[in-house]
Structure 1
Amino acid sequence: MESSENPKSGKEKKMKINMGLDNIQLYVGCNVQEVGGRLTLITPPEEAANIIGRNAQKIVQEIPANDRKAVVLTGPMAVWAYLIVFHAVLHAFGEVWYDDGRANKVLISKH
């Protein structure tokens, strides 16, 4: 989990969760291997879903409540994994953003 803030603009700090398979904290317990030069999730999705969900909950719980203003989900991964992490962060953060890596940030949830 990374934190990004733009002190010049005065914009609020946003936590960032990299959904890519290189995020060891999110995929610990899953079998991730390099295949053909790319990281690949070997663990079947129905198994990985529970592991990723538990890991996402742990990541959220480790963040102090007053630092949970906004989170950005970004990085290459299947939609089902995004949905699992979105479920974990939805009520823990005031805002949930999606960043496709091409300067297209979309506000997904705000409460």
Structure 2
Amino acid sequence: MLYWKDDVDLEYYKFCRDVRYKPTRKRDSYHKKSPYAVLRYLPFSPCLQRLYTLRATMEHMTWHATHLTEEGSICHPSDAEAWRRFDQMYLNFAEEPCNVMFNRAFV
């Protein structure tokens, strides 16, 4: 739930009625309340634009699609079965070597 506009001053979640803030031990009014959950915005577009601006970096970003591996040698996970299965399921995404897969980051 986003606490925005009309919901800025709410102390409880609308749907499950849980408390919004963690309990504090300090009783002074100057202590800032800390929420249970925080939404962080990570803008990916500027990061990707910077990565593909330099030619050398762009070549590294497309390496997984252009490199050749020798049979029997240790290789990058881009050759793994899970990646092959992903490429088979999402053909449009796999056709363009500049596409980048992101994992979710939890803090």
TM-score by length of 1: 0.23
More strand by share: 1
Please report the TM-score for the alignment, with normalisation by the length of structure 2: 0.23
Identify, as 1 or 2, the structure richer in helix: 2
Tell which has more relative contact order, 1 or 2 (C-alpha 8 A, sep 6+): 1
Bigger Rg over Cα: 2
